[in-house]
């Protein structure tokens, strides 16, 4: 009999299992994939806050202090803010180290394992950390994410992209309706990606041509491909039940503006571990009742995303000539993130 079964072994699942086991609870993590570094979906680009949280690990990172923001017509704004940076990472390496750290505390893992309701008889509590389209939410009839971005990313070696020190972001609704395109350097390759509202057409080959990297995407030396859903509806209202709680992307805890979910997954999974321990061992209130009071509602970020999505490309181009827009964009990228 386990105290807790965690479904999903990415940032939220690995972090919550580590903190639960550190408190002496018996924890099992089940994961559909064969390993934590298989079938990666995230870009692995960390904000400063996420990087600071993960500094106990031996991180292989590339520090990026400049964001180049491009309009649909490729006018560039160079954005910086002293003391703030983004980090491209070896995502598989980070998750593997988190896995090893959890194992060292006694966490058990079952890979190539799908969840079924028989597991409810094997644990006092179930945590759904199984991503944007959560099976746990479906099985236990909790709220489910309804609004998504879909992202595609390729990792390319031996490229001719000249800017190897900046995080380049591209606004263009014809290429990425609802979000952006990006190029980010790491180690000996670059990450090229597009994300847009689910159902919109994402043409990575057209993006590659626009950047002048190749006339045909097959001419690039692609060493890795990633794709995945990103929930952007904000935190779900009914994300827990008597012996169940959703965390991370499964609970909708992702910024609707930046689509960033790693940092909130980390800090809230640790908090939930503490609350769940008190609930199971000391008859404290259900962790969902407490944690929901501190979840952000992302109201302002939802509004900004809504306004940006309404703007056609010609209006986005005009914004790049407005005096205040650079300051506004700098604040959006480099503000200190509480969540």
pLDDT of residue 98: 97
What are the phi and psi torsion angles at 166 (to 5°)? -125, 160
Q: How far apart are CA 283 and CA 286, in angstroms?
A: 9
Q: Is the predicted pLDDT of residue 339 greater than 80, yes or no?
A: no
What is the average per-residue pLDDT within 181-199?
93
281 Cβ contact list (under 8 Å, min separation 6): none
Report which secondary-structure segment, H or E, holds 104. helix 91-104
pLDDT at 170 over 80: yes
Confidence of residue 277 (pLDDT cuts 50, 70, 90): very high
Do 10 and 248 touch, CB atoms closer than 8 A? yes
Give the mean pLDDT of 247-264: 96
Rg (CA), the chain: 20
Please classify residue 92 by burial: count the beta carbons closer than 10 Å to its beta carbon, then call 0-12 exposed, 13-18 middle and 19+ buried.
Answer: middle
Quick one: pLDDT at residue 243?
97
Average pLDDT in the 59-74 region?
93
Distance separating alpha carbons of residues 183 and 170, to the nearest angstrom: 9
- Which tens digit of pLDDT belongs to each residue from 78-113? 999 998 999 999 999 999 999 999 999 999 999 999
User: Residue 27's pLDDT is what?
Assistant: 98
Instruction: Report if pTM > 0.75.
Output: yes
Q: What percent of the chain has pLDDT over 70?
A: 100
What does the alpha-carbon distance between residue 11 and residue 269 come to, in Å, rounded to a whole number? 9
% of the chain surpassing 90 pLDDT: 88
């Amino acid at each position: 009999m386990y105290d807790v079964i965690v479904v999903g072994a990415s940032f939220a699942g690995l972090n919550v299992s580590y903190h639960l086991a550190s408190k002496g609870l018996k924890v099992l993590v089940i994961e559909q994939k064969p390993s934590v570094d298989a079938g990666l979906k995230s870009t692995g680009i960390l904000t400063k806050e996420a990087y600071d949280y993960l500094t106990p690990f031996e991180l292989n990172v590339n520090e990026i202090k400049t964001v180049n923001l491009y309009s649909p017509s490729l006018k560039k704004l160079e954005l910086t803010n002293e003391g703030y940076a983004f980090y491209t990472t070896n995502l598989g390496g980070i998750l593997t180290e988190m896995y090893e750290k959890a194992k060292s505390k006694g966490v058990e893992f079952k890979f190539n394992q799908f969840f079924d309701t028989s597991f409810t008889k094997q644990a006092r509590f179930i945590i759904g950390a199984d991503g944007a389209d959560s099976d746990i939410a479906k099985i236990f009839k909790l709220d489910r994410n309804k609004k998504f971005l879909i992202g595609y990313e390729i990792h390319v070696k031996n490229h001719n992209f000249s800017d190897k020190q900046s995080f380049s972001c591209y606004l263009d609704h014809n290429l990425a309706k609802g979000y952006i395109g990006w190029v980010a350097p790491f180690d000996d390759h670059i990450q090229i990606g597009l994300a847009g509202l689910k159902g919109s057409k994402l043409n990575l080959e057209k993006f590659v041509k626009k950047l002048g990297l190749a006339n045909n995407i097959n001419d690039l030396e692609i060493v890795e491909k990633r794709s995945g859903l990103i929930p952007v509806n904000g935190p779900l209202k009914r994300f827990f039940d008597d012996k169940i709680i959703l965390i991370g992307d499964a609970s909708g805890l992702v910024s609707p503006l930046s689509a960033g979910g790693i940092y909130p997954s980390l800090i809230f999974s640790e908090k939930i571990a503490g609350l769940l321990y008190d609930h199971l061992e000391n008859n404290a209130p259900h962790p969902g009742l407490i944690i929901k009071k501190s979840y952000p509602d992302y109201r302002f970020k939802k509004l900004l995303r809504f306004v940006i999505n309404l703007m056609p490309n010609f209006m986005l181009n005009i914004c790049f000539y407005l005096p205040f827009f650079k300051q506004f964009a700098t604040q959006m990228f480099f503000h200190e993130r509480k969540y």
